[in-house]
Amino acid sequence: MTRLHMVRHGPTHARTMVGWSDLPADLSDTAALARLADHLPEAAVVVSSDLSRARDTADAVQRDRDRLPHQPALREINFGAWELRGFREIEAEDPERIRAYWESPGDIRPPGGESWHEVCARVDGAIDALIAEHAGRDIVVVAHFGVILTQVQRAMRVDATVAFGHKIDNLSVTEIHCAADPWQVRLINHIP
């Protein structure tokens, strides 16, 4: 059985929608990073998004674990024209679209960005490839809020609205066991 240990990167402290922008993570809480590294399986392989906030978090918890190449397909949601803008600013400009995007995730996309279904397809493909290549292993995936929720939705077989109801804190672990079928979510938003 393959186990995914999905870790959300360290905080950026941004108060805007941060998707593909390469903002750095605040990794100053070395005690939290040490607890996280201690919690993760020693024999796991580690992979991250190619964005620095995920890469640097992966570096901080890697220790002696094997590191895989960074995966652009594990990036956060592409918010397009909404990138680095606050919800209220966007709501004042395009209230129907932004509400629909978060309240009824699916085919609605930000201008120039990705729909929830597109994010799921991108991430599912990357996760499937990792599982095929490292079958039966523990895989630490250091990524983003949206990436983690795609796999929570997939494993729980729920709609996106239910998946979005889960909190995913920075430096938390969501553990998913990927046996044949069905996948099982063992932990969501666990802070070691």
Give the integer Cα–Cα distance in Å for 35 and 40. Answer: 9
**Which whole number is the average pLDDT over 50-63?**
98
Give the integer Cα–Cα distance in Å for 146 and 121. Answer: 12
Give the integer Cα–Cα distance in Å for 27 and 24. Answer: 9
Please report, for the chain, the start and end positions of each structural domain, with discontinuous segments joined by +: 2-190
Q: Which tens digits make up the pLDDT trace of 70-113?
A: 999 999 999 999 999 999 999 999 999 999 999 998 999 999 99
With bands split at pLDDT 50, 70 and 90, how would you rate the model's confidence at 6? very high
Percent helix, strand, coil in the chain, to 5, is 40, 20, 40
Give the integer Cα–Cα distance in Å for 183 and 192. Answer: 23
Determine the pLDDT at residue 181.
75
**CATH classification for the domain delimited by 2-190, as one of 3.30.300.30, 1.10.3470.10, 3.40.50.410, 3.40.50.1240:** 3.40.50.1240
On the question of pLDDT at 172 being above 80, the answer is yes
Return the H-helix or E-strand segment holding 120: helix 116-133
The one-character DSSP state at 15 is S
**Which whole number is the average pLDDT over 159-179?**
95
10 phi/psi in degrees, rounded to 5: -65, 160
Give the integer Cα–Cα distance in Å for 135 and 189. Answer: 24
Check if the beta carbon of residue 2 is closer than 8 Å to that of residue 141: no
Give the integer Cα–Cα distance in Å for 23 and 52. Answer: 7
On the question of pLDDT at 180 being above 80, the answer is no
With bands split at pLDDT 50, 70 and 90, how would you rate the model's confidence at 36? very high
Identify the residue whose tokens are 């201008």: 111
Determine the pLDDT at residue 179.
82
Check if the beta carbon of residue 141 is closer than 8 Å to that of residue 168: no
On the question of pLDDT at 138 being above 90, the answer is yes
The β-bridge relationship of strands 173-178 and 2-8 is antiparallel
**Which whole number is the average pLDDT over 134-142?**
97
One DSSP character per residue, 162-190 reads HHHTS---TT-EEEEEE-SSS-EEEEEEE
